[in-house]
Amino acid sequence: MIKFQDVTKIYPPNAAALRDVNLEINAGEFVSIVGQSGTGKTTLIKLLTAEERVSKGKILVGDWDITRIRQAEISTLRRQIGVIFQDFKLLPKKTVFENVAFALEVCGARPGRIKMIVPQVLRIVGLEEKADRYPKQLSGGEQQRVAIARSLIHRPKILVADEPTGNLDSINTREIADLLLKINEFGTTVLLVSHNRELVNSLRKRVVTLDQGAVISDQEVGKYVL
Amino acid sequence: MIMFVALFRAIKFSSQDFWRNFWLSAATVVVLVLTLVSINFLIILNVLTKTAAAEVREKIDASINFNQGVPESQVGNIKSYLLSLPQVKDVEYISPENALAAFQERHQNDQAMLESLKEVGENPLGATLIVKARDPKDYPVILKVFDDPQYEAFIQDKNFDDHEVVVKKINSIAEKAKETGVGLAGLFAAVAVLIGFNTVRLTIYTHREEIGVMKLVGAANWFVRAPYLANSVFYGIFTVLFAIIITYPLIGFAEPYLAGFFEGSNFNLLGYFTNNFLQIFGWQFIGVVLLSMVTSSLAVGRYLKV
C-alpha cells in the first residue's frame, strides 16, 4: 500500500530529517509512528502528502510513485489521503456542516451530493446533531471529530493523524482513538503520529519508532519504547 | 458538469473576496478609473485636434485675381482647366461686380477708401477665382500653372494664405497635451498595479487558513488560484462602469462649449463616443482585465504557494 524505499530528506543547508528510511505499510493496517520531537515523524507525513519532496529514495502509494509527482497531480493524491492535525485546522466562520462540505465544494462536488454525503459522514463521527454549530461552540474532542469527518469526505484509502490528541484530555483522547480504530475497521489504512505513550500502548497495533531520522524499531504489536 | 460547478464556485469565492475586502477593492478600482478617465481624455483630445486641424485646413484657399477687363469667357476657360487638374477640389468664380460688392462691404467703415473708389468712377476690380485644393501641399503646384506666359498676362495677382503654420501649432499643442496624458495614464496604471498587487497579497494573507484547508482537502491548483484571477473581471466591470458614469456627463457638460468653438462643422463628441462605444469601452475593459490579471498572477505566484 505505502512503501518508503531508502528515503532521505535533507533540509538546506545540511539538516537530515530522515535517513534511508525503509518502511512498508499494508492496506488496512493501523500503524503508530512514535519518536521524540525532531525525529522526522512530521517530515514523513509531509513527504507522503507531497508537501515536501524527498532528497533521495522513493515513495509508492499503491502502484503510484509519488517521488516526482507533478504539481497538477497533488490534489488527486490528497483526495486519497485524509489528514488530521493537532490544531484541527477548522474554519471558525463556518459551521460544522459547512466545514465538512467545504472539502467537497472546493473539489467541484454538486450541491445534491454534498447534501447527501455530509450528514452521512457526520453520523459516522457522531456529530449529526451539531451540524449547525460553529467550531468554538464545540469541545476539543468534537472539533477533532469534525476534522476527521472532513478528512473522510473523499473516502480516502489512507488516514494520516498527526498528533490528533495533542490538545485533548484523556476522555476525548480515548474517544478519538476509538473513532480511528472504527475507521480502520472499515478498511482505511491509519497512520497515527503520536507522543502519547498511553494511547499508543493501549491500541495494541503496529508501532514504528523513529530516532534521529531513522527507523530504530518496528513491532507488529508494539509499545512506545522510548 | 463538475468543471462548471467548480468554476461557478471559484467565481462565487472571488465575488466574496471582492466585497469582503471592500476598501482595498475600492482603492484599486478608483485608481483604475482614473487611468481610464485619463485615456478618455486622450481620446477627446485626439478628436478635438483632428476636428480643429480639419477646420483650419478647410479654410485654406488660393485667390487668383484677374486684370480688369479680362472677358468672363476667358476666366471660364481657366476655371475649366483648373477643375481638370487632379489636385483641385473646387473652383469658385466671383464676378467683378460681386468682387466690388464684397470689397465695399468689407470697407463699409472706411470712408476714405469708399471715397477713392467713387473717384475712380468705374469698377477697378477684375474677376476672381477661389481655388480649393484636395491637399494643402498642392497649392504651390496649382499656382505654378499661372506662371505660364499664356496666363500670366491676365493675372493681376495670386494669394495663398498658408494656414499650415496654425495647423502645426495645433498639432504641437495637442502633442504636448497627449504626452502629458500618456504620462498621467501610465502613472495611474503603475499605481493601480501596485495597489492591485498589494490587494491580492493581503487577500491571500487574510485567507491563509482557508487556502491551507483547500490544499489539505485536495482542491485543484487552478481552483485555489482562480478566485484571485476572477477578481480581475470584477475590477474590469466596475472600473469601466465608473469610467462611463464619469466620462459621459463630462462630455455632456463640455459639448456645448466645444460645439460653439467649432461652429458650422459637424462636430459631435458625444456622438463619437456613442458610435464607438463598444470599441472604446470594450478595449478598456479588456485592458483593465489583462492588467489586473497580470498583477494578480504576479502576486499569486509570489505569495500563494500551492
| Global model pTM greater than 0.90 | no
Pair B105, B249 in one domain: no
* ipTM exceeds 0.90: no
Pair B210, B291 in one domain: yes
Q: Which residue has the higher pLDDT, A22 or B205?
A: A22
Closest-CA residue to B267 (of B106, B29, B51, B100): B51
Mean pLDDT, chain B, rounded, equals 83
Pair B260, B142 in one domain: no
Shortest distance between the Cα of B225 and any Cα of chain A, in A, equals 12
Shortest distance between the Cα of B20 and any Cα of chain A, in A, equals 13
Of the three residues B137, B161, B185, the one that is the final residue of a domain is: B161
Tell whether B20 is within 8 A of chain A (Cβ).
no
Q: Which residue has the higher pLDDT, B248 or B179?
A: B248
Nearest CA in chain A to B13: A106
Of the three residues B161, B194, B217, the one that is the final residue of a domain is: B161
Segment among B67-81, B174-188, B268-282 with least mean pLDDT: B174-188
| Domains: count for chain B | 2
Pair B68, B216 in one domain: no
Q: With bands split at pLDDT 50, 70 and 90, how would you rate the model's confidence at B161?
A: low
- Tens of pLDDT, residue by residue over B215-260, are 888 888 888 888 888 888 888 999 999 999 999 999 999 888 887 7
Tell whether A113 is within 8 A of chain B (Cβ).
no
Residue among B9, B210, B220 whose CB faces A75 most closely: B220
Pair B275, B244 in one domain: yes
Pair B217, B142 in one domain: no
B9/A106 CB distance under 8 A:
yes
- Tens of pLDDT, residue by residue over A33-62, are 999 888 999 999 999 999 999 999 999 999
B3/A108 CB distance under 8 A:
yes
B217/A150 CB distance under 8 A:
yes
Mean pLDDT (whole number) for B28-42:
87
**Which domain CATH number covers B80?**
3.30.70.3040
Query: At which residue does the C-alpha cell 517530515 appear?
Result: A43
A153/B217 CB distance under 8 A:
yes
Tell whether A69 is within 8 A of chain B (Cβ).
no
Pair B41, B184 in one domain: yes
Range of the domain at B106: 61-161
Of the three residues B161, B181, B212, the one that is the final residue of a domain is: B161
CATH of domain A2-89+157-219: 3.40.50.300
Pair B100, B177 in one domain: no
- Tens of pLDDT, residue by residue over B262-306, are 776 777 888 899 999 999 999 999 998 998 888 888 888 777 765
> In chain A, which stretches have pLDDT less than 70?
226
Q: What does the DSSP assignment read for A51-105?
A: SS--SEEEEEETTEE-TT--GGGHHHHHHHEEEEETT----TTS-HHHHHHHHHH
- Show residues of chain A in contact with B212, CB under 8 Å: 89
Is the model's pLDDT at B167 over the cut of 70?
Answer: no
| pLDDT recorded at residue B102 | 84
A75/B5 CB distance under 8 A:
no
Tell whether A70 is within 8 A of chain B (Cβ).
no
Q: What's the CA dihedral at B76, B81, B84, B86 to 10 degrees? A: -120
Nearest CA in chain A to B7: A108
Share of chain B above pLDDT 70, in %: 96
For residue A143, give the H/E element and its range: helix A140-152
Q: Between chain A and chain B, how many beta carbons pairs sit less than 8 Å apart?
A: 63
